[in-house]
Structure formats: structure tokens, C-alpha cells
Amino acid sequence: MTLAQEVHLAEIQASIVAKVNSKYRVGQEEHGGDLWKRSPLVDDLIEEAIDQMTYALTLKSQLTQVKELLDEARNAAPDKPVSAQKLITRAMSYL
């Protein structure tokens, strides 16, 4: 791998470690007990998967709205720079 790819991978790994550490500790505060003794974990996993799908579909919708707003702004820019700026600002609010 290239140096840039190695750096990118290291950044991802560091982010994952930090997020798992934080999430695990928050979960311990909220739920207590030992995770490895929790049963049945499959129900928790299904709930998390549903949450993930809900977040993913909502994000997809938001990104579609961003694209539409940016397309509108690009089309408005030559004739209506103020309108274009407002559309860009609205698009940015999703990010």
C-alpha cells in the first residue's frame, strides 16, 4: 500500500478504537453487567440493525436533498447568485 493509504488506514483504526472505547463505556453506565454474559444478544443486534437501516435510509434521503439543492444552486448561480448562495447554505445544513 502507498504511504497515503497507510495513513488513511491508521486514521480509520484510531477512530474505531476511540469510538468503541467510548460506546462500550457509555453502554456499561447505561446497562451495567457484563456484556459477554448478556443473553440473548441476538435481540440487541436486531434492534441495532434496525437503527442502522433507519439511519442509513434517512442519510440517503438527506444526501439526495443536498444534491438537489446543489444542482439548483449551480443552475441559479449565473443569473441569481444570492439565490444560489441561499440554496448552498440550505444544502450545507444537512452536512
3-state secondary structure the chain: CCHHHHHHHHHHHHHHHHHHHHHHHHHHHHHCCCHHHCCCHHHHHHHHHHHHHHHHHHHHHHHHHHHHHHHHHHHHCCCCHHHHHHHHHHHHCCC
The pLDDT, as a whole number, for residue 3 is 98
The pLDDT, as a whole number, for residue 76 is 84
pTM for the whole thing?
A: 0.66
Between CA 16 and CA 21 the distance in angstroms is 8
Tens digit of pLDDT for each residue in 15-39?
A: 999 999 999 999 999 999 999 998 8
The mean of the pLDDT values for the chain is 93
